[in-house]
């Protein structure tokens, strides 16, 4: 589904990704872990097409298409979802309006009929309940006045409504308390653990992986994947730390 | 002898004098005058969307406890200026909400003069300006508080949004306060569209032009928020956003 090959990327003239390669197939959950400054967030933004992140070499193929040639909104319509580490506040635009516009924009690109207001609200209620987010929050302005945990749950509600094929979740677990972590973990499983979908979890900690069991774990350091393994690699990292595991 | 304003007149300092020459002098120097009886409400909306230079001037005198609720969209495709002067009586209120919007090499302006001649009156002006091309949006807001006009509560807020380099916004709040027990709040800011909000929207599938539309509507919202007539509010929003066309 996603094939990253020898990806080099820089921001402000500083090279952050230095030959990163990674392949995800449908039905798989991959986790990327790594020390601060390794390039984890840069990877997520490059995949999401954020302006300012320049790819200098390498390629990213998504379902056989050149992901890097697509505009951010085209990536979304093609089923790519980026869960933000710091979800953005948009004063004056309600969540409901934002998400309905987003979903219907995607549907139009895919040649599907837009959802009516009633149909959309039904879907939104269902996904908000899944993530235990009060429906009232969805009527408020996008992320304005939300706590850190509410913003992350709101990201997952968005993911549930938009129903992507590939989700890259950048530190979705940060800012969550233990109960919210469980809710979010179960939400990710419910929405994304499907044979035709794939997930790339970017995280600092093992704890989210207790709920969302990865099939593969990769260590990102110095802009490259330096080690890959199964779920046990994350446990070892938690116990031994990056230096020890990478040296082994 | 002509009484036409010149560039040396403070209140005309940002005007387009070439365009102004084509407007009849009586229109530039005369006033439409309305006296609002005690306890009555004057509700007026102005739409300036002409193709030839235009100046409109309204002078209102409020009786005790009366209200003037004036809302305006200036989306003209030639120089257009709306001036509102209101003299307040005790317990009266003046509300003004205005939207200046447009592109090309056109100057659009609002001028308000709020005269707190008596105690215990309130006033509020909220102006939003959105410009592109080499257009200029100006707001000159003068507030006079007479010596015995204690307990005056006056507020004025201007925000400018420039969509392109070359566009400009001028705000000139002018407060002359002779009473000592008054509240006079004013603020003026000029900025650009929030790039991170645009990217966040794109990442959810919203095309750039639609994202701009949503963000600009949100930006304008405060100017028309106090307009109680929802149908009229919607009409003014539509007029303002129609001016946006494919500019953004």
Is the separation of the CB atoms in B53 and B80 below 8 Å? yes
Q: Count of CB atoms within 10 A of residue A227's CB?
A: 17
Give the Cβ contact number of residue A51 at 10 Å. Answer: 12
β B122-131/B93-102 pair status: parallel
**pLDDT tens-digit readout, B115-173:** 999 999 999 999 999 999 999 999 999 999 999 999 999 999 999 999 999 999 999 99
Angle at the Cα of B49 (from B46 to B52), degrees rounded to 5?
Answer: 120
Residue B184: CB atoms within 10 A of its CB come to: 19
CA-to-CA separations, A10 to A20, A50, A57, A60, B126, in angstroms, rounded: 12, 12, 10, 15, 43
Q: Which residues pair with residue B123 across a beta bridge? A: B94, B154
Helix-then-strand count for chain B, H and E:
5, 12
Residue whose structure tokens are 């994350």: A234
Q: Which two tokens stand for residue B206?
A: 């919203």
Between positions 92 and 111 of A, the ones with CB within 8 A of B are 92-93, 97-99, 101-103, 105-106, 109
∠ CA B219-B162-B135, nearest 5°, is 120
Q: Does A83 touch chain B (CB under 8 A)?
A: no
Q: Is A49 on the interface with B (CB under 8 A)?
A: yes
Lookup: tokens for B248 = 């953004």
Which among A50, A77, A84 has the least Cβ separation from residue B205?
A: A77
Residues 6+ apart with CB under 8 A from B104: B77, B133, B134, B135
Whether A73 sits inside 8 A of B214 (CB atoms) is: no
Q: Do B202 and A73 touch (CB under 8 A)?
A: yes
Q: What is the DSSP letter of B206?
A: -
pLDDT in tens, A179-224: 889 999 999 999 999 999 999 999 988 889 999 999 999 999 999 9
Return the domain boundaries, chain A.
2-247
Q: Which CATH class is domain A2-247?
A: alpha beta
Residue B2's pLDDT is 62
- The band of A237, judged by pLDDT with boundaries at 50, 70 and 90, is confident
**Mean pLDDT value across chain A:** 93
Contact B210, A73 (CB under 8 A): no
User: Nearest residue of B to residue A162 by CA position?
Assistant: B204
Residues 202-231 of B with CB under 8 A from A: 202-208, 210, 214-215, 217-219, 221
Listing DSSP states for B53-91 in one string gives: -EEEEEEEEE-TT-EEEEEEEE--SS-EEEEEEEEE-TT
Q: What is the ipTM of this complex?
A: 0.95
CA distance A233 to chain B (A): 31
Kindly state the DSSP code that residue A88 receives in the 8-state scheme: P
User: pTM for this one?
Assistant: 0.89
Contact B142, B177 (CB under 8 A): no
Hey, is the C-beta of A161 within 8 angstroms of any chain B C-beta?
no
Q: Is A27 left (phi over 0), alpha (psi -120 to 50) or beta?
A: left
Q: Do B204 and A88 touch (CB under 8 A)?
A: no
């Amino acid at each position: 589904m996603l094939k990253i090959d020898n990806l080099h990327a820089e921001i402000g003239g500083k090279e952050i990704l230095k030959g990163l390669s990674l392949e995800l197939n449908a039905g798989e959950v991959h986790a990327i872990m790594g020390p601060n400054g390794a390039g984890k967030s840069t990877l997520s933004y490059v995949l999401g097409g954020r302006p300012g992140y320049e790819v200098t070499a390498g390629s990213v193929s998504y379902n056989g298409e050149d992901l890097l040639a697509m505009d951010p909104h085209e990536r979304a319509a093609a089923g790519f979802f980026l869960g933000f580490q710091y979800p953005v506040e948009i004063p004056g635009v309600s969540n409901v309006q934002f998400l309905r516009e987003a979903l219907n924009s995607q549907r139009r690109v895919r040649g599907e009929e837009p959802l009516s207001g009633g149909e959309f609200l039904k879907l939104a209620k269902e996904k908000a309940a899944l993530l235990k987010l009060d429906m009232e929050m969805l009527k408020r302005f996008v992320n304005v006045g939300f706590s850190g945990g509410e913003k992350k749950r709101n990201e997952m509600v968005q993911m549930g409504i938009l129903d992507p094929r590939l989700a890259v979740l950048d530190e979705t677990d940060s800012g969550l308390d233990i109960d919210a972590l469980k809710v979010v973990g179960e939400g990710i499983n419910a929405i994304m653990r499907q044979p035709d979908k794939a997930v790339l979890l970017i995280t600092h900690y093992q704890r989210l992986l207790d709920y969302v069991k990865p099939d593969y774990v990769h260590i990102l350091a110095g802009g490259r994947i330096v080690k890959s393994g199964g779920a046990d690699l994350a446990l070892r990292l938690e116990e031994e730390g990056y230096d020890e595991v990478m040296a082994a | 002898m002509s009484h036409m304003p010149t560039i040396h007149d403070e209140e005309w300092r940002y005007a387009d004098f070439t365009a102004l020459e084509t407007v009849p002098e009586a229109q530039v120097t005369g006033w439409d005058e309305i006296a609002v009886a005690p306890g009555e409400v004057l509700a007026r909306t102005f739409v300036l969307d002409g193709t030839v230079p235009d100046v409109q001037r309204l002078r209102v005198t409020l009786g005790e406890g009366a209200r003037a609720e004036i809302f305006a969209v200036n989306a003209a495709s030639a120089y257009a200026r709306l001036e509102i002067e209101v003299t307040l009586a005790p317990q009266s209120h003046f509300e003004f909400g205005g939207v200046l919007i447009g592109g090309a090499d056109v100057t659009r302006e609002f001028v308000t003069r709020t005269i707190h001649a008596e105690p215990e009156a309130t006033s509020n002006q909220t102006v939003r300006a959105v410009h592109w091309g080499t257009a200029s949006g100006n707001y000159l807001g003068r507030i006079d508080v007479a010596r015995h006009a204690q307990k005056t509560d006056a507020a004025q807020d201007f925000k400018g949004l420039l969509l392109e380099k070359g566009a400009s916004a001028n705000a000139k709040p002018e407060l002359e306060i002779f009473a000592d027990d008054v509240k006079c709040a004013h603020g003026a800011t000029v900025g650009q569209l929030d790039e991170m909000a645009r990217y966040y929207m794109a990442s959810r599938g919203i095309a750039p032009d639609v994202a701009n539309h949503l963000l600009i509507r949100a930006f304008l919202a405060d100017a028309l928020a106090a307009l109680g007539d929802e149908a009229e509010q919607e009409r003014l929003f539509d007029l303002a956003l129609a001016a946006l066309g494919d500019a953004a």
